[in-house]
Amino acid sequence: MISSEHLQSCLYSKAEIASLHDELSCHFRRVKIILYIRDPISTAVSSWSTRIKCGVFTEELPPPHDRRISSICDYQRSIESWSEHFGRNNITLRLYHPEELLGGDALVDFFSLVAPQESLSAFDLPARKNESLSALGASILNSVLSAVNVKANAHTYKKYQQVVGYILKAKKDAGCSFQVKWPLKTMHLTTQTQITLCSKIISRPFLMSGHNRIKAEIAIAN
């Protein structure tokens, strides 16, 4: 079992995917792929949040043409490229949204697909990691980053990560979610990043207006 978000984001060309297929074919008779599709605006917010948590001052969301967004959210390209080498019948699409994940958790949902006959009750599940910042948390950390070079040395960066941890804990304790009215200059994301998927897979444009719009299409695709 191999699980990594970088399989999609880093293996971009068909030649790279073909190379992986050839290598895996030397060891396995059949390979099944599970692809979690995420709302592009959620992906942009997650990328933005991650950069801030890593100590990079990031005032705006990455634009639609940014490779972190354009490549990851181009689901038509991903599905077609991986299907070409592994077969469409070997690819399962899942919608990455708490309301659609089994138990509202990606790990539980993934486990139910790869080992449906097993129970997670016998395992100690790890705590959730890599949580996104709240709008307030991102604003606070950006204020710190604008005034201090947190990567100046290991000690400063360690202290910064302690602050990040404190803010994430405060968000969890308060039950905060990411809700913010974006400046007009970033709202173009909602109109420019419209990934139209292959009509045989998902017939309507994948818009960033919420998961319900594509929920039925995911079911049809599978």
Question: What are 29-74's pLDDT values in tens digits?
Answer: 999 999 888 888 788 888 889 999 999 998 887 777 777 777 788 8
Per the domain annotation, does 201 fall within a domain? yes
Per the domain annotation, does 163 fall within a domain? no
Per the domain annotation, does 64 fall within a domain? yes
Question: Which pLDDT score, from 0 to 100, does residue 53 have?
Answer: 94
Per the domain annotation, does 149 fall within a domain? no
Question: Which pLDDT score, from 0 to 100, does residue 220 have?
Answer: 42
Per the domain annotation, does 66 fall within a domain? yes
Per the domain annotation, does 36 fall within a domain? yes
pTM of the model: 0.69
pLDDT digits (tens, 9 = 90+) for 96-151: 888 888 888 888 899 888 888 888 777 787 777 778 888 888 888 999 999 999 99
Per the domain annotation, does 68 fall within a domain? yes
- Total domains in the chain come to 1
Range of the domain at 91: 6-132+178-221
Contact 84, 14 (CB under 8 A): yes
Per the domain annotation, does 154 fall within a domain? no
The residue to which tokens 């705590």 are assigned: 127
Structure tokens at 213: 């719009």
Question: Which pLDDT score, from 0 to 100, does residue 174 have?
Answer: 58
Task: Tell me: pLDDT of 10 over 50.
Answer: yes
Q: Which of 15-19, 27-31, 119-123, 211-215 has the lowest mean pLDDT?
A: 211-215
